């Protein structure tokens, strides 16, 4: 068993309340319901559960009296500071940041009524203070980029649900999340992602979606025929049904990524959006070519039956 596995508190030993909350968070529900994680891929669920199990291991070792306490009352700024010191015995700075990022996402699922923005602030502060090395992108994986996209979409859905309406800004947040998630999983080049048109390049394949891009729109001049996995397909449905129409004049064109100017986003706009979103999330901007470099084995883990290079 690896050192990392030894740092996780087994699920069967979790307090009954934690187990119940975790299972409830992943019950089938509406994608629009931000409190549910049923539509997350199995790999993502496992990563989030591992991060929470690791925090429980810390609690068991150093603060066992807190184990019976409810999850939202078991963590605060002082505990996080001590947890970071504990993590640094096994992780480098970048690994600590990733672990806290996953822990916050896990807590949002099992404690959806609590405000976890303070933990995001701490995570971003740690990311900004981490030593900068020439290889700072080495820890950037498609998993992290994909989770960022999912987080943006979940946040947008939560805001829309809370307000009872979908504003232009919220719709654009969902658009950007879907854009980043698709870039992380399908890794199309900027020219290709800019070209995408609904019904022409983004087409129905049974109950899900697929990309069917002719060679003329590809740098390689080879046709891109890629099935889109169910999780992303369902989020595309939500975007098209609920969010896209809230962006001005989106109904006047068939571009998948409507801009605020009544036309599809340009390549430069997509480039700027991705850099802005990743810099805000990670403390440094991730260029589009890094998505292709980071892709590695992500979708071979998420959906091995449908792994196909573009």
Are 200 and 297 in the same domain?
Answer: yes
Are 113 and 146 in the same domain?
Answer: no
pLDDT of 133 > 60? The answer is no
- C-alpha pair distances (Å), 53 with each of 30, 90, 102, 122: 26, 15, 11, 20
Are 81 and 164 in the same domain?
Answer: no
Are 108 and 199 in the same domain?
Answer: no
pLDDT at 231: 87
- Per-residue pLDDT band at 47 (split at 50, 70, 90): confident
The H-or-E segment that residue 250 falls in is: none
pLDDT tens column, 195-223: 899 999 999 988 899 988 886 666 566 67
Q: Which of 60, 54, 49 is nearest to 110 (CA)?
A: 49
Are 154 and 247 in the same domain?
Answer: yes
- Per-residue pLDDT band at 54 (split at 50, 70, 90): very high
The lowest-confidence range among 24-28, 77-81, 260-264 is 24-28
Q: Which domain-ending residue is among 103, 131, 159?
A: 131
pLDDT tens column, 264-303: 999 999 999 999 999 998 888 888 877 766 554 444 444 4
Q: Which domain-ending residue is among 115, 131, 147?
A: 131
Query: How many of the other CB atoms lie within 10 Å of CB of 50?
Result: 17
- Give the count of domains, the chain: 2
Distance (Å, whole) CA 64 – CA 60: 4
pLDDT of 75 > 80? The answer is yes
Query: Which residues, listed in sequence order, are joined to residue 202 by a DSSP beta bridge?
Result: 198, 211
pLDDT of 134 > 50? The answer is no
Mean pLDDT computed over every residue of the chain:
84
Are 21 and 102 in the same domain?
Answer: yes
Query: Which residues, listed in sequence order, are joined to residue 224 by a DSSP beta bridge?
Result: 213
Are 114 and 255 in the same domain?
Answer: no
Which residues have CB under 8 Å from 153's CB, separation 6+? 173, 174, 177, 178, 181, 235, 238
Are 79 and 228 in the same domain?
Answer: no
Are 69 and 117 in the same domain?
Answer: yes
Q: Which domain-ending residue is among 78, 96, 131?
A: 131
pLDDT at 139: 60
Are 24 and 105 in the same domain?
Answer: yes
What CATH number should be reported for the domain holding residue 256?
1.10.443.10
pLDDT at 95: 84
The domain in which residue 89 lies consists of 3-131
Are 145 and 220 in the same domain?
Answer: yes
Are 191 and 242 in the same domain?
Answer: yes
Q: Which of 22, 24, 44, 32 is nearest to 234 (CA)?
A: 32
pLDDT at 288: 81
């Amino acid at each position: 068993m690896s050192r990392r596995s030894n740092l996780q508190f087994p699920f069967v030993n979790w307090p009954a309340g934690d187990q119940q909350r975790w299972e409830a968070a992943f019950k089938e529900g509406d994608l629009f319901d931000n409190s549910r994680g049923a539509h997350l891929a199995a790999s993502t669920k496992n990563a989030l559960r591992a991060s929470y199990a690791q925090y429980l291991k810390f609690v068991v070792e150093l603060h066992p009296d807190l184990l019976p306490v409810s999850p939202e009352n078991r963590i605060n700024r002082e505990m996080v500071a001590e947890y970071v010191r504990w993590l640094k015995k096994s992780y480098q700075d970048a690994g600590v940041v990733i672990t806290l990022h996953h822990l916050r996402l896990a807590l949002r699922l099992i404690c959806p009524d609590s405000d976890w923005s303070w933990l995001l602030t701490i995570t971003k502060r740690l990311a900004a203070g981490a030593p900068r090395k020439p290889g700072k992108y080495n820890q950037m994986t498609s998993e992290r980029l994909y989770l960022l996209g999912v987080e943006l979409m979940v946040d947008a859905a939560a805001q829309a649900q809370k307000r009872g309406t979908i504003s232009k800004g919220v719709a654009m947040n969902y658009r950007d999340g879907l854009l980043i998630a698709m870039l992380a999983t399908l890794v199309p080049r900027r020219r290709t992602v800019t070209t995408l048109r609904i019904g022409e390049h983004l087409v129905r394949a049974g109950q899900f979606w697929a990309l069917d891009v002719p060679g003329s729109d590809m740098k390689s001049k080879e046709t891109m025929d890629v099935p889109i996995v169910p999780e992303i397909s369902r989020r595309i449905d939500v975007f098209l049904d609920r969010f896209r129409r809230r962006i001005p004049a989106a109904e006047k064109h068939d571009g998948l990524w409507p801009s605020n100017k009544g036309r599809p986003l340009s390549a430069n706009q997509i480039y700027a959006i991705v850099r802005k979103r990743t810099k805000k999330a990670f403390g440094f901007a991730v260029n589009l070519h890094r998505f292709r470099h980071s892709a590695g084995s992500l979708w071979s883990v998420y959906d091995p039956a449908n792994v196909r290079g573009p």
